[in-house]
Every structure is written in C-alpha cells, then in structure tokens.
C-alpha cells in the first residue's frame, strides 16, 4: 500500500512539472538568430559605406586599401577596424520584427549601410548599422532585406561612421625609427649629416667630425616626425624646398621636403605621401624646430 501511495505522488509531481513547463514556455518568444558566416579579413576586396548623401568606397589594392576614384591611400588602422567588425560580426539578440526604425537609428537618413564584396564582386556582408544601445556595449543593426532588428556585439558606429577625410591616410612620412642609420638635413644653405653606430649594444649618433650627438634627442625627434599628419592634399605644386630631410636605412631612403611657410601653412612632399600635401603652420613650425635641434642650430621661436 505504501508503495502505491509513493507511486501516485510521483505521478502527480510529474504532471505538475509538465503543466508548469507548458504554461511557463507559452509566454516566451521562440526565435532563431541568423547564422553569420565568419569571414576572414582577407576575403574582402571592396567595402561601400553609405550614410545619407555620403558614399565612401574602399577598394583593396594588393596590401593597401584605396579611397574611391581618387585612389588615395586609406588609413590602415581605420580599415583594419572596419575589417575586424565585418569579419567578427556577432548578432546577440532579436529586438523587433518590423517598424520603428527611427528609434533604433535605422531609418534611411540615419542608418549606415555597409556593403562588402569579395574579389569576384559577390556580396558577402550587407548590413545597416544604427545607434548604440543604452550602455553602449551593443549596436542596433539590420541585415540586407531582413526586416528584423537585431543587436550586435560592440560599438560598430565607431568603425563605420566615418567621412572620406577620416578614412584617408594623412601620414607625412613613415619609417622604423630603430632602423635608421643616417640622417641628412639641408636647410637655409647649410647641410648636416649624422650616422649611427652601435657600441656595446647601444646606439650612438655622430656628426661628420665624429663628435657624439645626444642619442635621446635624436630619437625623440625621429619619433615625433614619424607621427606627423598633414591636413589636406595641396591644390598646387610646391615651391623649391626650404628644408629637406633624408633618412637612410638598409632598405633605402625616406624623404621629406617643406616649401617656405605661408599663411596657410607649409606645402610638402615626401617619399610616403602620394602627392603634395599641406601641413598647418603649427605643425610645420614644429618640424622646422626639430630640424634646427637636430642640426645643432639655435631653435627658432
């Protein structure tokens, strides 16, 4: 008799649990998130970013990326950030099935439409990027013709909400500081040359006469030169250079030339930039002061 009672109790418990599960799940929304193929960054050959009336087209050129019809070099860090977000797109939740796009930053005038293609022109990413969620850890998105609104992990707007100007590589000169073996500066009719030697594992810079130069000062100026960016490309050819810098390493040379200062700044050319550029007055003055310091001249005010 005792066994029969225990059996009945077990049956009742099973029934109660079954009813609980049925009614508990009845109120839930059952959905399946879209499967996103994890592409490699090297799979992308063209990226088109549209927002409002603005369109940016980035096209792969071997190891470089270029901007639109101008063909100007795109900033590597900017492109790498875009490629990372495209490759690692991670949809975390379904927010809504339709409507109310404006509240998510996904209305036509607000959304960032990103289309990415492979080398054959096939579309491998097609998404609309909206605004960030409360807290800023996720981004509202739509996928192609899918009317659903999802959240994706990360701050996608940081990578995709860019202007052409922000995408351009405006670095004036690029070199590996530790690889430089020789420095030559010509300015105001004088010429200065330094060469680097290594002694007991330390770098030593010397002038033509064999005098030792302050290595920390040289390295600090080289580091600063390597970080400089121009403001825009020049619309006219530069005048004869007022100052030139030639850096030599085992691979070749890196050059920078600045024309005389004007109210608009300095027009310059370099071995890194693909056409003449304009450096603002403050930046240009800083470069000229660096040349003075490296040459051992009194630093101009």
Q: Where are the domains of the chain?
A: 41-167, 177-295
Comparing C-alpha atoms, which of 267, 81, 78 is closest to residue 164? 78
CB atoms within 10 A of CB 219: 15
Answer whether 288's CB lies under 8 Å from 300's CB.
Answer: yes
Query: How many residues in the chain?
Result: 301
What one-character-per-residue DSSP string does 156-191 give? HHHHH---HHHHB--BS----GGG--EEEEEETTEE
Name the token pair of 226.
């390597």
The predicted structure's pLDDT at residue 7: 59
Whole-angstrom Cα Rg for the chain: 30
Which of 14-28, 147-161, 260-274 shows the lowest mean pLDDT across its residues?
A: 14-28
CB atoms within 10 A of CB 41: 13
What is the share, in percent, of the chain residues with pLDDT greater than 90?
71
219 or 13, which is more confident: 219
Mean pLDDT (the chain, rounded): 88
DSSP run (H or E) holding 164:
helix 164-167
Q: What is the pLDDT of residues 117-166, one digit of tens each?
A: 999 999 999 999 999 999 999 999 999 999 999 999 999 999 999 999 89
Q: What is the pLDDT of residues 227-240, one digit of tens each?
A: 999 999 998 889 89
The predicted structure's pLDDT at residue 55: 96
Architecture of the structural domain at 177-295? 2-Layer Sandwich (3.30)
CB atoms within 10 A of CB 12: 10
The predicted structure's pLDDT at residue 225: 94
What is the C-alpha separation between 181 and 191, in angstroms, rounded? Answer: 17
First and final CA of the chain: distance in angstroms?
Answer: 106
- pLDDT at 182 > cutoff 90: yes
- pLDDT at 61 > cutoff 80: yes
What is the C-alpha separation between 123 and 115, in angstroms, rounded? Answer: 7
The predicted structure's pLDDT at residue 118: 96
Compute the average pLDDT of residues 270-282: 95
User: Residue with structure tokens 């027009």?
Assistant: 267
Q: Return the biggest CA–CA distance within the chain.
A: 115
Answer whether 78's CB lies under 8 Å from 85's CB.
Answer: no
Q: What is the pLDDT of residues 70-97, one digit of tens each?
A: 888 999 999 999 999 999 999 999 999 8
> What fold does the segment set 41-167 form as a domain?
Immunoglobulin-like (2.60.40)
């Amino acid at each position: 008799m005792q066994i029969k009672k225990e059996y009945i109790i077990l049956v009742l418990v099973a029934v109660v649990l079954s009813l609980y599960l049925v009614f508990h799940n009845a109120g839930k929304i059952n959905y399946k998130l879209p499967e996103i193929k994890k592409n490699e960054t090297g799979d992308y050959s063209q990226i088109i970013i549209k927002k409002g009336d603005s369109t940016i087209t980035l096209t792969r050129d071997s190891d470089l990326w270029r901007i639109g019809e101008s063909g100007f070099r795109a900033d590597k860090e900017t492109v790498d950030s875009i490629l990372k977000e495209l490759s690692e797109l991670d949809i975390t939740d379904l927010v809504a099935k339709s409507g109310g796009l404006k509240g998510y930053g996904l209305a036509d005038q607000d959304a960032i439409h990103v289309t990415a293609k492979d080398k054959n022109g096939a579309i491998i990413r097609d998404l609309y990027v909206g605004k960030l969620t409360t807290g800023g850890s996720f981004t509202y998105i739509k996928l192609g013709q899918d009317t659903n609104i999802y959240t994706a992990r990360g701050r996608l707007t940081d990578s995709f909400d860019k202007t052409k100007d922000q995408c351009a590589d405006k670095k004036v000169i690029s070199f590996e500081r530790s690889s430089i073996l020789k420095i030559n500066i010509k300015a105001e009719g004088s010429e200065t040359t330094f060469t680097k030697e290594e002694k007991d594992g330390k770098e030593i810079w010397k002038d033509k006469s064999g005098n030792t130069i302050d290595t920390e000062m040289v390295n600090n100026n080289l580091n600063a030169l390597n970080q400089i960016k121009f403001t825009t490309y020049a619309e006219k050819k530069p005048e004869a250079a007022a100052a030139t810098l030639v850096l030599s390493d085992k691979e070749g040379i890196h050059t920078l030339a600045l024309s005389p200062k004007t109210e608009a700044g300095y027009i310059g050319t370099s071995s890194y930039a693909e056409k003449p550029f304009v450096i603002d007055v403050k930046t240009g003055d800083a470069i000229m002061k660096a040349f003075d310091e490296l040459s051992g001249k009194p630093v101009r005010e």
